[in-house]
């Protein structure tokens, strides 16, 4: 059994370890062997914590279970603090930036018995929706090596898709959990802003207001069950993040009504994406849900205000980032700044509009407690298409048309695969009102129970 343990989900491994059918050492070693076998093809794992992971596994095997992930390995994106390894943010300048303490999400995973196995790749400062940097190199999509694995948590996405880890941690200010979930065919939970604390001991600069109102940390996995376990472990107030909230993990019963979204403001969705969304609607209808095609309020305006919230701070950060980031990544940032010039809107207008849009979406959720739409509004692009001087900005923004509501409005979402079309994963995104991660997870779990999982896979080479 041990040779194939890397194929199993985190909750399955936890059950096997708890019942002593397998040891934690066997589980960790199986994943280390898998990393050795396939990481060279996708470059998802940047640092393997083999020695410390095996020692922790031996301690887990000698002890009584300490939590729901006792003895299960997990991986951590390289912009999340994990003691014993550098928090690089994908920058050569931070190659040796060692954190003094674990981030709360890492500490809470460890407290649940999970074992850090390795660090995963990201773009410089997490500021592209693909995964490449001068320090660690490019992460390839395991389904098609010519296409992006998504970003910025692309290393996590590719590692999960290929069985190198059963569960991982990433973060999201513009889809960075959900983008690689879509591209790699795995699942991710983007929580409500404030649900899961976000604390960095090695920030590159002071965290701006856009970071506080839009960025979250969250789990990535191959199964919705694993997302739900991690959600319960990671949620809750932390003194290092005074904006985190000890909100109830579940809300009251909601009407079984869902809106499906098949039209975008700036482009036509791929046929495979429309088919996946409609298939999700059919699954819900078969389960007794009322489903209707409907579009939530002002998607184009949501995209615009999201960009302005980000750019209001980005223009201040660019001078600090210029000495440490590559020319291509900087050109992309300058292109986004030109597209949504911060000088055209003042802070009061931006945040007044954000509040107005949040109220409008809350009203929509009263009619449709769940919204199902695309994750990306287009297919995974070819490597570096986002850096093309003529079309790179459009390549990025077009794909984020249904991503940005989650960040601007702070609402939760689950990105979920729905199958494979023409050799690439397809999937949907499930939105609900703030603090209703439980609805997102319930619907995603129902969909997964009907359509199944599509990973892990051997990387195409």
Q: Active-site positions?
A: 77, 152, 176
Q: How far apart are CA 308 and CA 214, in angstroms?
A: 12
Q: How far apart are CA 189 and CA 225, in angstroms?
A: 11
Buried b (16+ CB within 10 A) or exposed e, 288-303: ebebeeebbebbeebb
- The DSSP-derived string for 402-426 is TTHHHHHS---EEEEEEEEETTEEE
Buried b (16+ CB within 10 A) or exposed e, 377-401: bbbbbebebbbbeeebbbbbbbbbb
Residue 277 token pair: 């969304």
8 A C-beta contact, residue 42 and residue 149: yes
8 A C-beta contact, residue 389 and residue 236: no
Burial tier of 82 (Cβ tally within 10 Å: 0-12, 13-18, 19+):
buried
Task: Compute φ and ψ for 90, nearest 5 degrees.
Answer: 75, 15
Residue 322 token pair: 């210029």
Burial tier of 263 (Cβ tally within 10 Å: 0-12, 13-18, 19+):
middle
Residue 95 token pair: 């190659």
8 A C-beta contact, residue 310 and residue 210: yes
């Amino acid at each position: 059994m041990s040779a194939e343990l890397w194929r199993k989900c985190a909750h399955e491994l936890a059950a096997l370890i708890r019942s002593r059918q397998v040891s934690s050492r066997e589980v960790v070693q199986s994943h280390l062997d898998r990393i050795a076998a396939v990481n060279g093809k996708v470059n998802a794992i940047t640092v393997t914590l083999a020695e410390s992971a095996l020692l922790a596994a031996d301690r887990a095997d000698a002890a009584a279970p300490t939590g729901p992930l006792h003895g299960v390995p997990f991986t951590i994106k390289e912009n999340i603090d994990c003691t014993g390894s550098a928090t690089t943010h994908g920058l050569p300048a931070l190659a040796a930036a060692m954190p003094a303490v674990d981030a709360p999400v890492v500490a809470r995973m460890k407290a649940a018995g999970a074992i850090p196995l390795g660090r995963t790749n990201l773009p410089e400062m997490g500021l592209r929706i693909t995964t490449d940097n001068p320090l660690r190199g490019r992460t390839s999509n395991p389904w098609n090596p010519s296409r992006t694995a998504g970003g910025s948590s692309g290393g996590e996405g590719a590692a999960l898709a290929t069985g190198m880890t059963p569960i991982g941690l990433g973060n999201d200010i513009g889809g960075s959990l959900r983008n690689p979930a879509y591209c790699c065919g795995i699942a991710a939970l983007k929580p409500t802003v404030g649900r899961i604390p976000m604390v960095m001991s090695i920030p590159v600069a002071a965290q701006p207001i856009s970071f506080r109102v839009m960025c979250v940390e969250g789990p990535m996995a191959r199964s919705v069950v694993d997302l739900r376990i991690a959600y319960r472990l990671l949620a809750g107030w932390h003194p290092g993040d005074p904006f985190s909230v000890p909100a109830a993990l579940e809300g009251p019963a909601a009407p079984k009504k869902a809106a499906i979204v098949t039209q975008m403001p700036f482009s036509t969705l791929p046929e495979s994406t429309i088919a996946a969304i409609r298939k999700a609607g059919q699954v819900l209808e078969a389960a007794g849900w009322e489903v209707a095609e409907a579009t939530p309020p002002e998607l184009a305006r949501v995209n615009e205000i999201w960009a302005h919230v980000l750019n209001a701070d980005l223009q201040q950060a660019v001078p600090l980032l210029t000495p440490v980031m590559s020319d291509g990544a900087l050109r992309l940032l300058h292109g986004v700044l030109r597209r949504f010039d911060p000088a055209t809107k003042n802070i009061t207008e931006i945040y007044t509009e954000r509040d107005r849009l949040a109220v409008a979406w809350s009203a929509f959720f009263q009619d449709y407690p769940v919204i199902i739409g695309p994750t990306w509004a287009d297919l995974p692009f070819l490597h570096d298409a986002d850096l093309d001087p003529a079309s790179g900005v459009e390549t990025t923004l077009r794909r984020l048309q249904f991503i940005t509501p989650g960040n601007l409005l702070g609402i939760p979402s689950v990105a979920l695969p729905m199958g494979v079309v023409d050799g690439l994963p397809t999937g949907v995104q499930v939105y609900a009102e703030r603090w209703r991660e439980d609805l997102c997870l319930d619907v995603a779990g129902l969909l997964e129970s009907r359509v199944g999982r599509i990973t892990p896979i051997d990387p195409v080479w």
